[in-house]
Amino acid sequence: MLQAILFLSLLQTSDPRAIEVADQMMEALGGQSNWDEARFIRFTNVRRNRKVTYTWDRQLGRLRLEARNASGIPYVVLMNLNARQGSVYVEGRQLHGKELSEYVNRSARMWAGATYWFLMPLKWKDPGVILTYDGEESIGSVMYDRIHLSFADVGRSPGDQYWAYVNRETHLMDRWKFKLESGAEGEYRWTKWHRYGGIRVATERVSADEVIRFEDIVVASSMPDEFFTSPAPVELR
């Protein structure tokens, strides 16, 4: 049994070439120390004419989510992601019971998806992520190192498979292909890289049929506590 466990552990280890590419990319993104110091992250995800704004305290797991529901009514969620508990205000009315629970759980799922789309290149060394070097590929005039990402029983869909294309000159991820556990597949270009608070992020994801944008981005080491305690609009200062 012990031998089987050790063998499985070896199978789930990232290979050195892939780790080298990941380390080069992390430096191009601003470096591990800047990522570690990026305690607060705020951004608006714009997709298919819908806007959702997230304000996240990475250290304490606090989240403020601002959006409109299916009826177009504005709502605010103030929750702790670790405890899966919080408060929800729909057009100023505080929710309770089953309605509250549904909003909180849905908000946690929305946050998980949106932050991965936003920050995926910075999360390659998260626990359970397995990196495999999958060769090089030339697209146009650009040479890419292709990295395969798989997952060792972590996340909501550990069967998802990703292929990241890292530009050998800039060390940034320009392209991303995926095949999800559900069978869905996709391919996006990551474009318009900018620096915020010491880290670099791509602000657009472009596929054959859509553009996903990230706007109003703030990366900071401090932020007013009202973001996580008050449903009223809060101004950055």
SS3 state of residue 57? strand
Annotated domain spans of the chain: 15-228
Q: How far apart are CA 208 and CA 206, in angstroms?
A: 7
| Residues 223-237: b if buried by 16+ CB within 10 A, e if exposed | beeebbeebeebeee
pLDDT of residue 12: 64
What φ, ψ does residue 222 adopt, rounded to 5°? Answer: -145, 155
Structure tokens at 147: 């990295």
CA angle 87, 63, 117 (to 5 degrees): 130
* Radius of gyration for the alpha carbons in the chain, expressed in angstroms and rounded: 19
**CATH, domain 15-228, list 2.50.20, 1.10.3470, 2.60.120, 1.20.120:** 2.50.20
pLDDT mean for each 10 residues of the chain (237 residues) = 41 86 98 96 96 98 96 97 97 96 97 96 94 97 97 79 97 96 94 97 97 98 96 89
Q: Which residues pair with 230 in a beta bridge?
A: none
Q: How far apart are CA 230 and CA 77, in angstroms?
A: 10
